Structure 1
Amino acid sequence: MPTFLPKEVLAGLEAARQRDRKRNGRMLVEADGKTYRVISFWEGGFALDAENAPHLRGFVDLYDRGQHLYQCLIIASGEEDGRMIYEFKRLTAIQDRPPQDFAPEKGDRIALPLPSDLPL
């Protein structure tokens, strides 16, 4: 048996969902020196609240609770259900150390030799 809710109740439920998404979002996107709270994040993109989200395009940085996670190339793909949707053209994870330009072989030294290891 179908149940119908009044428009006012549906509007109240949608407003509560939006408040909950804003409050629970812990990721931030930084673009042009400004930060915006990410409402949802998935493999192919992310979404911001459409009320205060600009049409971002280009390089942005994604943070999770202050930790820099990704550097991305994005494009705004459209607005849907009060959310501005952005798609990744490139998503690069931030490394905590510089990349190696060679594959280390087993037994390679990591540091300089100790004085006792030097030939006489």
Structure 2
Amino acid sequence: MSTYVSKEISAELDAARIASLKKTSRLRVELGDNTYKILRLWKDGFTVEAATTPRLRGLVDIYDGARHLYQCLIIADECEAGEMRYEFKRSTAASDKAPLDFYRSPDAPIALLGNKD
């Protein structure tokens, strides 16, 4: 039995797999005003579709729908099976509030009420 798959069939299988990943993924990467769909995301990087996405480089933002997840410095790694792989040089989790420069006790009061005099 032969395990050889022709280039045409392999390309069609890759296209179907990428279409399936694009349909189920909510993740996207933003570079300037442009957004591109992320196919897969892991701790050290992510992949995008190689055919429709230009080579990305530098500082990008990663979103899950409208929620800002990370701000990352990326470098291109390799192109394989229709996906372009990028690795993080730096990945910083995004926060919706400013970081505290002091320790806040879990049982601290939320606000102070003044006298009504």
TM-score normalised by structure 2 residue count: 0.82
Moved over 3 A (4+): 2-6, 8-12, 105-110
| Greater alpha carbon shift after TM alignment, 32-41 vs 100-109 | 100-109
Report what 1:33 is aligned to. Answer: 33
SS in 2 for 1:18: helix
User: What's the C-alpha RMSD, in Å, of the aligned pairs?
Assistant: 2.3
Distance 2:11 2:18 in 1: 11
Change (3 A) 1:106 1:50: closer
CA contact (8 A) 2:15 2:82 kept: no
Q: Could you tell me which residue of structure 1 aligns to residue 58 of structure 2?
A: 58
Q: Which has the higher contact order (CA 8 A, sep 6+)?
A: 2
Q: How do residues 1-120 of structure 1 correspond to structure 2 at under 5 angstroms?
A: 2=1, 4=3, 7=6, 8-105=8-105, 108-115=108-115
Q: CA deviation at 1:19?
A: 1.5
Q: Deviations over 1:3-52 (max 9, x none)?
A: 54652544433332122122122101000210000011010000010012
Give the C-alpha shift of residue 58 in structure 1.
Answer: 1.3
Determine the C-alpha separation between the residues in 1 that align with 2:38 and 2:64: 10
Which amino acid counterpart does residue 83 of structure 1 have in structure 2?
E
Q: TM-score, normalised by structure 1?
A: 0.81
Gaps of 5+ in 1: none
Alignment length, in residue pairs? 116
CA separation in 1, counterparts of 2:108 and 2:18? 55
